[in-house]
Amino acid sequence: MHEPDFGVAGQTAIVTGASQGIGRAIAETLAASGANVAICSRSIDRVGPVAEEINAAEDAGEALAVECNVREREQVQDLVDRTVEVFGDIDALVNNAGGEFVAPFEDISENGWNSIVDLNLNSTVHCTQLAGEVMREGDGGVIVNLSSVNGQHPAPNESHYGASKAAIIRLTETLAVEWADDGIRVNCVAPGLIQTPGVAETLGIRSEQMPDREETDRRIGHSEEIADIVQFLLSPAASFMNGETVTAKGVPRPDNSFDVDLGLE
Ligand SMILES: CCCCCCCCCCC/C=C/C(=O)SCCNC(=O)CCNC(=O)[C@H](O)C(C)(C)COP(=O)(O)OP(=O)(O)OC[C@H]1O[C@@H](n2cnc3c(N)ncnc32)[C@H](O)[C@@H]1OP(=O)(O)O
Ligand SMILES: NC(=O)C1=CN([C@@H]2O[C@H](COP(=O)(O)OP(=O)(O)OC[C@H]3O[C@@H](n4cnc5c(N)ncnc54)[C@H](OP(=O)(O)O)[C@@H]3O)[C@@H](O)[C@H]2O)C=CC1
């Protein structure tokens, strides 16, 4: 009888942007399943406690916290070097760090546009090239990129974000082809609206407005629901998936409304 293998135990995974939100849930999920995780954010004061919590858990993998702004290539190189130094190799990379501000296209300055493309797309390039080098020189690996439904469909006031997230999908597809012979799979997740501190800050959605996980069918998603998909994509169960984008957006209404007041204008 065939038993599916959804496990990641023993893998070493880099997860960027893991001090909160989806990245934190991914790191905690992978570690709880026995993976060692190298996690980063721009502040060791914010990502350090996440590593401490993981390291305090029994039967979990180990965590290494690194202060790293993924927009800075030299800092990404340091993250990669420290991961190899501590854990010996890199099996998986989750390009999660990302963000946006909401503004009409005509109001986005050159610097504003570049900051979002830098944060979402160029950071993914830095991490993928530098961690990918280790994977290609070794036994290969698995990469999961965080796109967004806004990279698949247009949304007003998100031109910079949508363009950067659409580019991540095409980068995923291209690398899946280019690096297939190096034993590297590259896939993507495109979440719909997920309850995170970043969304609260950007869209003004307060956590107390959110329904519980199973309260409604037209709800906002939870970070753990994205983390579960990432673990699947990293696991042997997804061994025949390469260059794909998995969309996770629940059951949206035609007008994109939810069973919660988003408190937006
Ligand atoms: C509503 C219902 C919809 C339902 C459909 C669901 C679809 C799913 C939608 C999912 C959307 C979620 C997306 C996410 O990514 S969630 C994670 C969000 N987290 C964050 O975005 C973090 C919060 N944001 C930030 O930390 C920063 O804004 C950011 C990192 C994005 C930029 O930081 P940076 O340090 O680079 O920025 P600066 O402050 O130095 O500014 C750089 C230039 O950008 C200009 N700027 C900044 N904010 C704005 C703004 N609000 N409007 C216009 N321009 C802005 C800033 O002025 C600088 O440019 P100049 O130098 O020219 O002034
Ligand atoms: N939440 C949502 O509805 C959706 C989110 N996504 C994508 O999922 C990913 C995670 O989103 P979410 O959890 O909501 O975001 P949050 O804003 O809640 O968290 C972002 C994380 O990234 C870190 N981070 C931000 N900038 C950098 C940087 N330059 N270098 C390193 N780390 C950084 C932050 O840590 P610190 O501040 O400590 O540096 C934080 O840990 C993003 O790519 C986002 O675009 C996609 C679709 C929907």
Give the pair of three-digit tokens for residue 201: 């800050």
**Which band of pLDDT confidence, cut at 50, 70 and 90, is reported for residue 212?**
low
Q: List pLDDT tens digits, range 186-210.
A: 999 999 999 999 998 887 776 666 6
Q: pLDDT band at residue 257, thresholds of 50, 70 and 90?
A: confident
What is the pLDDT at residue 213? 58
Atom of ligand 1 nearest to the CA of 256: 4
Residue closest to 142 by CA, chosen among 88, 190, 183:
183
**Residue 252, token pair as written in the block:** 């949206």
Which structural domains are found in the chain, ordered by start? Answer: 12-248 (3.40.50.720)
In whole angstroms, what is the distance from residue 24 CA to residue 15 CA? 8
Q: How many CA atoms lie within 13 A of 162 on its CB side?
A: 14
Tokens for 78, please give them.
Answer: 């340091």
Residue 201's pLDDT is what? 86
pLDDT at 219: 80
Phi, psi of 95 (to 5 degrees): -85, 90
Residue 250: CB within 6 Å of ligand 1? Answer: no
Measured in Å, residue 9 CA sits from the centre of ligand 1 at: 36
Please list the alpha-helical segments (H only) found in 44-72: 44-56
Judged against a pLDDT cut of 50, whether residue 9 lies above it is answered with yes
Which of 111-115, 213-217, 220-224, 258-262 is predicted with the least confidence, judged by mean pLDDT? 213-217
Helices (DSSP H) in 93-218: which residue ranges?
110-117, 123-137, 159-178, 197-203
Query: How much is the pLDDT for 251?
Result: 80
CA of 199 from ligand 2 middle (Å) equals 9
210 lines ligand 2 (CB under 6 A): no
Ligand 2 centroid distance, CA of 190 (Å): 14
Digit-coded pLDDT (tens) for 95-106: 999 999 999 999
Most informative mutation of 71, 101, 210, 226 for ligand 1 (most atoms within 8 A of CB): 101
Cβ–ligand 1 contact at 103 (below 6 Å): yes
